């Protein structure tokens, strides 16, 4: 499954098209050449920050909360995990990854601004490891000095983040939450939480800044590949969730 997933991510999907063109060209030269050329050009474009960052920004539709202004009230701050950093010997072997840390940091900020208790949610990144939610709880306590009120360590997907959080919060009578995730992912997260009956105050973080369309932006880069991959992953997630009927298409 990981191989298939990687092949449909940029720039892998474009290179698959190019490789297919080389095979097709054995029988149909004109079509094969077209596919090879198209695949290589697409691989180049999808590896640039001009493309990747632009794609990522198309997903950022939630308005950020503004410090210093009055925020709508909510009964909890729910922080969605990303993943774990499995090789972190400096922290005892495993810790949260940078994206999860960025979300947790902002969740703590929202908690301190509002006084609403924290809920962290996310299952293990790999079998045998602590849940990402448990790792988040440890970081919140040890590094931010904040105690987490609820830990959902079973959720493996955004949909399970929503259903698990709903179950925990129902017992406390909480039906409105601040929802923290990266700006590009939060619209799908919000749709899931609203689908299970929770009211959501969007609290996006990690916004992708506008791309500066300099010459460098049109050459392949690690940032371009990363942004394009995250954007394609999220669009696939939205389509899949819509097909499953979990969110509106």
Q: What is the pTM of this model?
A: 0.91
Residue ranges, CATH 3.40.50.620, the chain: 76-205
CA angle 67, 69, 72 (to 5 degrees): 105
Give residue-wise pLDDT tens across range 68-93: 889 999 999 999 999 999 999 999 89
pLDDT at 1: 54
Three-state DSSP state, 140: helix
Question: CATH homologous superfamily of domain 76-205?
Answer: HUPs (3.40.50.620)
Computed on alpha carbons and rounded to an integer, the radius of gyration of the chain in Å comes to: 20
CA angle 110, 116, 120 (to 5 degrees): 75
Q: How far is it, in rounded angstroms, from Cα 49 to Cα 209?
A: 11
Residue for token digits 């389509």?
239
Side-chain half-sphere CA neighbours of 22 within 13 A: 7
pLDDT at 17: 86
């Amino acid at each position: 499954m990981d191989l298939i997933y990687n092949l449909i991510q940029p720039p892998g999907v474009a290179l698959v098209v190019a490789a297919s063109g080389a095979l097709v060209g054995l029988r149909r030269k004109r079509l094969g050449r077209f596919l090879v050329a198209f695949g290589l050009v697409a691989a180049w474009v999808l590896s640039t920050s001009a493309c990747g960052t632009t794609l990522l920004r198309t997903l950022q539709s939630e308005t950020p909360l503004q410090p210093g202004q009055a925020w709508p009230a909510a009964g909890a701050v729910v922080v969605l995990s990303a993943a774990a950093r499995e090789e972190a010997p400096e922290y005892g072997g495993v810790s949260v990854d940078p994206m999860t840390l960025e979300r947790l940091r902002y969740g703590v900020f929202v908690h301190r601004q509002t006084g609403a208790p924290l809920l962290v949610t996310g299952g293990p990144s790999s079998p045998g490891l602590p849940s990402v939610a448990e790792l988040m709880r440890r970081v919140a306590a040890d590094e931010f000095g904040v105690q987490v009120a609820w830990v959902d360590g079973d959720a493996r997907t955004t949909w399970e983040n929503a259903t698990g959080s709903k179950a925990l919060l129902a017992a406390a009578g909480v039906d409105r939450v601040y929802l923290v995730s990266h700006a590009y992912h939060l619209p799908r997260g919000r749709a899931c939480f609203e689908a299970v009956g929770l009211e959501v105050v969007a609290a996006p973080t990690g916004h992708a800044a506008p791309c500066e369309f300099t010459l460098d932006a049109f050459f392949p880069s690690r940032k371009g590949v990363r942004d394009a991959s995250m954007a394609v992953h999220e669009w696939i997630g939205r389509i899949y969730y819509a097909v499953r009927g979990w969110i509106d298409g």
